């Protein structure tokens, strides 16, 4: 059974993601766990096989080696054996360790660091401006209480792996080199749990939910990453926990668009305000009204800058600017009196009021003169 394809053992496709593989392992491991099938050798062997399969497929490097070489990747002298080396220094130590006081025979700790977690948090632009305290409910793992994180059944303990003598690696001869690979018995931990904890199935940790309160600093932007050290998954068999990374996402705002510390907004104004000039008020994220002066004769698309009314600088001092882009709006509903006044205005037009349109139509007239 140990040579059965790992994906078949876990009943998943070869392109299955980490979450699918983890869910499949937990389901099958629970079905064939020795505690639920006392005295059944078949269930015991299946439990060992699916545990070995999951240990391989949950590790990206081991999985890549297995996908390429199959079971040969982890056999002595196999084609993929070299995939288990951490660096060239590991090979150097294997060759010269005996002559230079190396770590041969030294026991390897079975404790492994927990995985890092990612949490995507969406906040409003106002929250990004002022900063915010948020409460998070995180699904993670914690040290198993019944076994104290050891992974062994309460009252028992893990024993040193006799196959690798606790080193977590075994040696193999490849040509002129003596190299090492992960021990197939203890899978690199250096220890073997003969009687695993029923609560955590030998992992030394169990799923739980954790409530956290996090301060989001003022000035964060889309994609800002906040790291919370030690708030990730618990380590295996007493290992240190991983970290939690919070990725910030900014919700779309009804008025403003953001580019760095600059806030952009399009503001429609009446054609009379555009012609005669005036003032408009724009509400800022700083909860104040900003008065924007409109110069007479302004055109659509003209940008007006309000200094210091933009976003605060993250972990710094000062703020960016607010930029208002003017959009001149042509009236669509006019009263009879307004139409009368506009007709009178049109009668007084000389062409100098709108030089751009006057120049455009002058060019058209010259083109018509060239047509036969």
CATH code of the domain containing 310 = 2.60.260.20
Which residues are within 8 A (CB) of 332 and not within 5 positions of it... i.e. 6 or more apart?
Answer: none
The model's pLDDT over 241-282, given as tens digits with 9 standing for 90+, comes to 899 999 999 999 999 999 999 999 999 999 999 999 999 999
| Residue 354 belongs to a domain | yes
Max Cα distance, the chain (Å): 107
Per-residue tokens: 318: 């000062």
Which residues partner with 121 through β-bridges? 248
Q: Which of 13, 31, 58 represents a domain boundary (last residue)?
A: 58
Q: Which residues are annotated as a binding site?
A: 144, 147, 161, 164, 183, 186, 197, 200
How far is it, in rounded angstroms, from Cα 360 to Cα 337?
A: 31
Report the CATH number at residue 34.
1.10.287.110
> How many angstroms separate the Cα of 286 from the Cα of each of 155, 250, 261, 295, 321?
61, 17, 13, 25, 12
- Eight-state DSSP code of residue 106: P
> Which residue reads 């006019």 in tokens?
334
| Residue 339 belongs to a domain | yes
The model's pLDDT over 309-339, given as tens digits with 9 standing for 90+, comes to 999 998 888 999 999 999 999 998 999 999 9
Per-residue tokens: 76: 């002595």
pLDDT of residue 329: 92
pLDDT of residue 151: 80
Which residues are within 8 A (CB) of 310 and not within 5 positions of it... i.e. 6 or more apart?
Answer: 261, 262, 263, 319, 320, 321, 322
Number of H helices, E strands in the chain: 9, 15
> How many angstroms separate the Cα of 328 from the Cα of each of 13, 350, 351?
59, 22, 20
| Residue 276 belongs to a domain | yes
Per-residue tokens: 75: 């056999």
Do 171 and 180 contact (CB within 8 A), yes or no?
Answer: yes
Domains: count for the chain:
2
Per-residue tokens: 336: 């009879």
Strand, helix or coil for residue 249: strand
| Residue 318 belongs to a domain | yes
* Burial class of residue 173 in the structure, from the number of CB atoms within 10 Å of its CB (0-12 exposed, 13-18 middle, 19+ buried): exposed
Q: Which domain holds residue 29?
A: 1-58
pLDDT of residue 344: 92
Strand, helix or coil for residue 52: helix
pTM: 0.58
Determine how many CB atoms are found less than 10 A away from the CB of residue 93.
16
| Residue 307 belongs to a domain | yes
| Residue 325 belongs to a domain | yes
Which region holds residue 261: left if phi is over 0, alpha if psi is between -120 and 50, else beta? alpha
Do 205 and 114 contact (CB within 8 A), yes or no?
Answer: yes
Do 176 and 204 contact (CB within 8 A), yes or no?
Answer: no
> Which residue reads 């000389």 in tokens?
350
Residue 73's nearest CA partner among 88, 91, 52 is 52
How far is it, in rounded angstroms, from Cα 2 to Cα 10?
A: 12
Residue 328's nearest CA partner among 291, 281, 276 is 276
| Residue 210 belongs to a domain | no
Per-residue tokens: 39: 């005295």
Give the β-pairing of 278-283 and 169-174: unpaired
Which residues partner with 264 through β-bridges? 257, 323
What residues in the chain have per-residue pLDDT under 70? Answer: 1-3, 72-111, 173-177, 237, 357-372
Q: Which of 19, 36, 58 represents a domain boundary (last residue)?
A: 58
| Residue 113 belongs to a domain | no
Q: Which residues are annotated as a binding site for Zn(2+)?
A: 144, 147, 161, 164, 183, 186, 197, 200
């Amino acid at each position: 059974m140990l040579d059965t394809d790992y994906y078949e053992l876990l009943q998943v496709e070869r392109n299955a993601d980490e979450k699918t593989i983890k869910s499949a392992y937990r389901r099958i491991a629970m079905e064939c766990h020795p505690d639920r099938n006392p005295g059944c050798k078949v269930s015991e062997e299946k439990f060992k096989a699916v545990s070995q399969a999951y240990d391989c497929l949950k590790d990206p490097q081991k999985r890549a080696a297995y996908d390429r070489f199959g079971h040969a990747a982890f056999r002595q002298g196999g084609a993929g054996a070299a995939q288990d080396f951490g660096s060239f220094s590991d090979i150097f130590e294997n060759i010269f360790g005996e002559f230079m006081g190396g770590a041969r025979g030294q026991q390897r700790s079975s404790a492994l660091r927990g995985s890092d977690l990612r949490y995507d948090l969406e906040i409003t632009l106002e929250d990004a401006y002022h900063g915010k305290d948020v409460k998070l409910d995180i699904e993670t793992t914690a040290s198993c209480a019944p076994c104290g994180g050891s992974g062994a059944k309460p009252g028992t303990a893990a024993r040193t792996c006799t196959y690798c003598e606790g080193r977590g690696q075994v040696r193999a001869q490849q040509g002129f080199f003596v190299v090492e690979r992960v021990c197939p018995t203890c899978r690199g931990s250096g220890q073997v749990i003969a009687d695993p904890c029923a609560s955590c199935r030998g992992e030394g940790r169990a799923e739980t939910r954790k409530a956290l309160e996090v301060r989001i600093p003022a000035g964060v932007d889309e994609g800002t990453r906040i790291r919370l050290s030690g708030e990730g998954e618990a380590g295996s068999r007493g290992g240190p926990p991983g970290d939690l990374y919070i990725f910030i996402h900014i919700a779309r705002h009804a008025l403003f668009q953001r580019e760095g510390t600059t806030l952009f907004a399009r503001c429609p104004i009446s054609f009379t305000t555009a012609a005669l000039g005036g003032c408009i008020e724009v509400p800022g994220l700083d909860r104040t009204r900003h008065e924007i002066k409109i110069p007479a004769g302004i055109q659509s698309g003209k940008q007006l800058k309000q200094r210091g009314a933009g976003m605060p600088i993250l972990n710094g001092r000062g703020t960016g600017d607010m930029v208002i882009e003017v959009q001149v709006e042509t009236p669509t509903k006019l009263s009879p009196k307004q139409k009368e006044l506009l007709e009178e205005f049109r009668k007084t037009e000389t062409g100098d009021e709108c030089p751009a349109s006057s120049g455009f139509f002058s060019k058209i007239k010259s083109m018509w003169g060239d047509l036969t």
